[in-house]
Amino acid sequence: MSEQFNQKPVNLDDTLESTSLQQQIIDLQNLIGTQDQDINTLKTEIIAVNDRNNTLSAELSNANERIETAMGVLTEYDTLLIEFEETRSALELAVDKLKERDEDRKKFFSGASHDFKTPISAILGATRITQTMMDAAIKDLSELIDNQTDSGLDQQAVMRTGILKVSKKLTTISNGVIKLKGVASTLDSLVQDLLNTMKLDRGNLDLEIEDDPVDIKKLFEDIGDVISLQLNKKKLTIKFPEEKDYAGIELRTDQVQFRRIIINLISNAISASPDKDSQGHNEDTITDVIVKLESDLINDSIPGISIVVEDHGRGIKTEDLENLGNLFHTIKGVSTGGHGLGLFNVKSIASLMGGNLEMKSEGLNKGARFIIRIPLDQRNL
């Protein structure tokens, strides 16, 4: 009991301080716990924000990709619009050309039908005249024979008169035959041009290349006979190449088509040349149509020849040169009697032969120059 009384007395202030400190510690612990909760909540919120940011970044990336895709589509759309506009313009141009070609085709058929009718009418007329003259000549010969038996007539006078009458009628017949030949040649040329054109337009004209070289001298002699009527009608002159110009040249080609395209060019040159009478110049000083033939190179390497046909006629405007040689194309305002077949045939056949056609003119009333270049040996084309 004495020990209990000997214990140190309790200090109330110390007890109070201890209780207060403990309470502060508890409060501090509670505060720390609350802050931990706040930190955890903040961490959760930060994670959520990061997740949202990642989601937004992904969505932004997808949006950027969609924008880039859209921009690509817009660019492609712009390209398509440009291509569409170019196609539309090309189609409009093609339609215009088709309309122009259709108009040329209509003009061709209109003119061709007239040109078929004209030579046929001429042939029929010349045939009737020839038949009439033949009948008259036969009748005169019969009368001449009958008069030989009449002793009361001056036989020599009768003979002279009879022969003179028959001679005049035979001359008329001969002129009719010449006219028939010329008209038939014109008709044949038109028919052949039509046949060639149909084959060329379908792409099924086949050349018949011969192994034997062209007899160039005979070729020009034949061509001279064919175009003589056309030349004489306009009182024009022509100069063909001399033998020395083509000596040693051996040309292997389709001889029928080669002859035809040269005749075509010469005929065009004659048509483009004015009549000598209308010009009033001296026939001895001017050669109206000149034909040249000389060695040449095709594409700077292939041995070939050039055939040049030039005239001093109406000439061709620069803007008209570009379309010459197109099917059915004719020069507006110029009456040539052609229908846009001849030069189309020449140009197309020269191309089939591995060559080309070149057309030159310095302008109106300054003549024109047409040049065909083709390989010498076309057997392996």
Residues linked to residue 369 through DSSP beta bridges, in sequence order: 310, 360
| Residue 294 falls inside a structural domain | yes
pLDDT per residue as tens digits for the range 265-307: 999 899 889 887 655 444 556 788 999 999 998 888 899 999 9
- Answer yes or no: is 361 within a domain: yes
DSSP state of 286: -
Residue 320 to residue 236: CA distance in whole angstroms: 26
Question: Which DSSP category does 322 fall into?
Answer: T
Work out the number of other CB atoms within 10 angstroms of the CB of residue 207: 16
Q: What band does 126 get if pLDDT is binned at 50, 70 and 90?
A: low
Domain-terminating residue out of 171, 205, 239: 205
Same domain, 175 and 237: no
Provide the pLDDT confidence category of residue 2 given band limits of 50, 70 and 90: very low
Last residue of a domain, one of 205, 230, 260: 205
Please indicate, yes or no, if residue 353 is contained in any of the structural domains: yes
pLDDT for the residue numbered 202: 78
Residue 8 falls inside a structural domain: no
**Average pLDDT, stretch 135-141?**
69
Compute the mean pLDDT over every residue in the chain, rounded to the nearest whole number. Answer: 76
Q: How many domains does the chain have?
A: 2
What was the pLDDT predicted at 242? 92
Please check the confidence at residue 1 and state whether its pLDDT lies above 60. Answer: no
Please tell me whether residues 229 and 91 are part of one structural domain: no
In a domain, 21, yes or no: no
Rounded mean pLDDT of 51-60? 75
Q: What is the CATH number of the domain that holds 359?
A: 3.30.565.10
Phi first, then psi: give them for residue 287, nearest 5 degrees: -95, 120
Angstrom distance (rounded) from CA 213 to CA 223: 17
Q: Are residues 137 and 201 in the same domain?
A: yes
In a domain, 61, yes or no: yes
Q: Is residue 245 part of a domain?
A: yes
Strands 289-298 and 302-311: antiparallel
Q: What percent of the chain has pLDDT over 70?
A: 62
Residue 282's pLDDT is: 43
Q: Are residues 231 and 88 in the same domain?
A: no
Q: Is the pLDDT of residue 353 over 50?
A: yes
pLDDT value at position 263? 92
- Find the domain containing 349 and state its range: 216-375
The reported pTM is 0.58
215-239 confidence digits (pLDDT tens): 999 999 989 988 888 888 888 999 9
243 and 365 in a single domain? The answer is yes
Detail the DSSP E strand segments found in the chain.
238-239, 289-298, 302-311, 356-360, 368-375
Do residues 71 and 195 share a domain? yes
CA nearest 240: which of 215, 267, 219? Answer: 219
Most confident of 154-163, 282-291, 353-362: 353-362
Which pLDDT tens digit goes with each residue over 3-26? 444 555 545 555 556 677 777 777
Confidence band of 328 (pLDDT split at 50, 70, 90): low
Q: Give mean pLDDT, residues 60-64.
A: 71
Is residue 153 domain-shared with residue 242, that is, in the same domain?
no
DSSP state at residue 154: -
